[in-house]
Structure 1
């Protein structure tokens, strides 16, 4: 998800959300300073004042980065609020913030989960829940979002780039022995064998035509057009 522009000409609901995010960050920041045992209270007091009078989403995010660099690492989790603000501005056309419902919020979280690890998502959900609890308590909204029973699917691990010699031989044997039941299976089996035994690239196998297969001296020759239309031969 890309971040949106700045706060210029925000709609009413967007402005309400920005103010809520800013005030929540101020609230959390003050608690973080106390619990983290920060030594330079003068610097932190200055940053707190800057947060309170901030009127721009980009400036607010920059201040959070400054706070992070000062040693208050937990502020990093506020990133989810900036991502939500961007999503809200781009995709949610509601006139008032209080018209936001839990389904809209869950849709945002599932979109975000496509790009984030499960551990990060668990923390993001926690901070989003805290944020809306804060709005209910301090600004008299009535969201009461539970955000419970949300399960995010694990990203599939990438397959190994190469099979070892033993596994490759086993795969070829299983492929040759497999009895196809349809023309589609025959086609797919042939494509796999061409790629494995012929050294063809996937695109080369897909583009192969009967006229590209010729018999020369008891061997079949594959006339292949590779990258940049360069022709090469594969002997079988």
Structure 2
């Protein structure tokens, strides 16, 4: 069913309606292979069919969808949440007042401090939303209002922010961090689980989402190592290894008390999937206890630390690409910036 572009009573409610419709479309079109609770996803979609009362309520449903494994939804929704708040302050009367210039102004003001990758995600989210509206709105005569948003001339990607080098720990900081993991006092019976999560991410470089989606059947005992079968972005499979001695104690103790509602390896105390935000809070708390300060203290920093040390030790970009599951080797090249031996040669030129 198609709708008149401005059929709601006010601009804010109309904007909310179109973002809500777009999010609902994405919930049904994004890959649901890693969704841990299909019934929960069906419930969320049904609630969006009924409609939400506010952007905050819609945000709650999006977070719930992400928490059950639909990770890509945030890439689309977060920029649109910013757009909703941005346009709400402009006093617009009609969706037709939105054009390339307004969206370029929005991107310039809202993404100035972000990396190029985040800026691209914002642009993609806007293009996707207005392309969707182009196809779904209908005038009384049966025609459609077309925004035809392209944002080809937006120069934000060449701004002063540029591509940021990732935060990472050096070898000394990693050693201090590992000591802090074992000393940190966790509450209740979650110590074995939390140490297991952090050690696997740090020693293999897998993404937090990949860790939280890891299933019992994905772990294989191979002599002195565990082989982990990972499903990466785009459901691309790869295998990583970790020495058995590193996680054996935490793994076995966790399995003895583990009570999960599905076959995922780790879960919260209700038996459901853990959130990435929770894992990042754990990492940040341990970093603080170890006296380590980084620009970004989240769990993703562990992946950058693994990749940086891996390249520094072996100088093998293909190995880094395969270990991290990068589709393009150029994504892995950022870790060559931390090759101190190579950079040291520049000091000897004279």
Band of TM-score, shorter chain: 0.5 to 0.7
Q: Give the structure 1 partner of residue 217 of structure 2.
A: none
Looking at structure 2, the residues matched to 49 and 141 of structure 1 have their Cα atoms a distance apart, in angstroms, of: 28
Q: Give the structure 2 partner of residue 95 of structure 1.
A: 93
Q: In the TM superposition, what is the alpha-carbon distance from 1:93 to its structure 2 partner?
A: 2.1
> Which residues in structure 2 correspond to 1:1-236 (within 5 Å)?
12-34=10-32, 36=33, 38=35, 40-52=37-49, 53-77=51-75, 78-90=77-89, 92-139=90-137, 140-152=144-156, 153-155=159-161
**Structure 2: 5+ residue runs without aligned partners?**
1-7, 138-143, 166-350
**Structure 1: 5+ residue runs without aligned partners?**
1-9, 159-236
Q: In the TM superposition, what is the alpha-carbon distance from 1:107 to its structure 2 partner?
A: 0.1
Q: In the TM superposition, what is the alpha-carbon distance from 1:55 to its structure 2 partner?
A: 2.0
> Residues 64 and 76 of structure 1 are in contact (CA less than 8 Å); yes or no, is this contact kept in structure 2?
yes
Q: In the TM superposition, what is the alpha-carbon distance from 1:39 to its structure 2 partner?
A: 5.3
> Residues 14 and 97 of structure 1 are in contact (CA less than 8 Å); yes or no, is this contact kept in structure 2?
no
Taking only aligned residues, the RMSD between alpha carbons, in angstroms, comes to: 2.2
Q: Give the structure 2 partner of residue 211 of structure 1.
A: none
TM-score using structure 1 length: 0.58
> Residues 118 and 154 of structure 1 are in contact (CA less than 8 Å); yes or no, is this contact kept in structure 2?
no
Q: In the TM superposition, what is the alpha-carbon distance from 1:151 to its structure 2 partner?
A: 2.4
